[in-house]
Amino acid sequence: MSIDGLRRVRDNEKGWTCRKGGLFTLRNKEMLLIPGPTPVADEIYDALASETWAHTDPRFVKIFERGIALTKEMFHTDGEVYIFAGSGTLAMEMAVVNTVAPGEKLLVVSHGYFGDRFTQLGRAYGIQVETVQAEWGRHVDPDAVRHALAQGGFKAVTVTHVDTSTGVAANLDALVPVVKEAGALFILDGVCATAALEEDMQKTYGAPGYTIDVVLTGSQKAIGVPPGLGIVAFGPRALKARAEMARVPAYFLDIDNWRPVMENPGRYFATPPVNMIYAYRQGMEMVMAEGLPARYRRHEALGRAVRAGLAVYGMRALAGEDVAAPTLSCILYPDGVDDAAFRAKLASKGVVVAGALAHLAGKAFRIGHMGNVTGAMFAEAIRRIGETLQELGHPVDVSSAVARFEAVYGEGR
C-alpha cells in the first residue's frame, strides 16, 4: 500500500489508476502534470460523456442550478456567480468590463506573465492601466502598491492569486487591506488557485468591509474539470459598480445579459455547453465532498513535498517557500540539463510537464500539482524524473528523492 492508502496500478491497456477511499478513480495513460489542464477523474469523464439533453430540459436545469449553488458555496459569496462557455482569459475580461469603464483607471498587480496580461486586456477596452510588477519569483511589495494607489482615482486593482509562469502565490493578507484603504475594488484572478487556496469573498482582511470583490477562474486547473468553462463571482460592491455603468463595451460578457440565466438556467441567452456543465457539477461535488479545508491542506502539503523531492536532484524552485504556491512550481534546471531533451524523454515515460515562459524558457520547467491528483502519482513522477536525469547523464539519488517527497508529504498531511 502506497502513501495516502492509495492503490496504484499500471498496465499498458488501462493506464494509470489511483483510488482513494471510494471518492474517485483516476485512469489516464499519462500523468499530465502541466499548469493545466490537470488529470481528469473517471467520474468527471463519465459525466461529460452522458447523453446530451436540451439546455431547457428540467433535468439539465437542475444540474446547472446545483453547479451554481456549489460555486457560491465554494466562494462563500452573497453576490452572484456566472458560469459560461469560455476560457480563463474570457473570465478575466468579464471581471474587468463589468466593473471598470473605458477611461477609468485600473491598477494591475503582477507577479508574472499572466498578471501582465491584465495590462493588455484593460487597454484593449480603453481603460487607463498602470502596473506594479514584481521580480519573477518574488511578491509585489505592498508599499509599492500603496504608493501607486496614492495617485488616486483607481476604480479597481487586479491581483493574480497564483501566477502560472512563476509559481508565486499572492499575499492576500497584505494586499487586500492596501487596496480597500484606497477605496478600490479588489479583483482576484483565481485561475491557478481556485479550489486549492482559500478564496472566501466574505472573509474580512483587517477591517470590516475589507473583502475580495470579484473572483474569476476556469474549470481546468484545481477544480479538475476539462477546459471549457469560465467562472466569475461578483460580490455586492462589484455588482453595484456594474449597476452604475450605463453600458459595457461587450455583449456576450455583459453580466446583465447573463443574470436571468444564472437566476433560472431554464432561460436562454446563449446556448450553454451542456456536457461541460454535467462535468463541472460532478467536479464541484468532488471538491465539496473532500471538504475545502482538507483540500487546501492536501495542496499545501503536495506543493511542499514536490519541491522538496526535486531539490534532492539539484532542481530548485524559482519561488522560495515563503511565496511558493500549493498548485504549481517553476523548477530551475541544474547546470547541463537540456530542457527539450529532458521534457521529451520524460514524456516518453508517461509524465508530461511544461516549459517555462519568457526569459526562463529553456532554463526551467513548470510542474502542476493540483486538482484531483494524489501523493502516489507524484511519488512515481519524482522517480521517473530522476530516472530521466540519470539517462541523460546526470547522476542523482532517486530513492532519496522519493523518500524525501514522501516524508514531507506525510508531515504536511
Closest to 80 measured CA to CA, from 187, 236, 185: 236
Q: Which helix (H) or strand (E) holds 69?
A: helix 58-75
DSSP H helical ranges for 125-200: 142-149, 172-181
Residue 413 annotated as part of some ligand binding site = no
**Cα distance between residue 205 and residue 210, in whole Å:** 5
DSSP code per residue over 209-242:
T----EEEEESSSTT---S-EEEEEE-HHHHHHH
From 309, 292, 294, 298, select the one nearest 378 (Cα to Cα): 309
Closest by CA position to 367, among listed 410, 286, 305, 409 = 305
Q: How far apart are the first and last CA of the chain?
A: 17
Preceding omega of 273 cis (within 30 degrees of 0)? no
Cβ burial 309-345 (10 Å sphere, 16+ → b, else e): bbbbbebbbbbeeebbbbbbbbbbbeeebebeebbeb
User: How far is the C-alpha of 145 from the C-alpha of 109, rounded, in Å?
Assistant: 7
Residue ranges at the known binding site = 366
Binding-site residue positions for substrate: 366
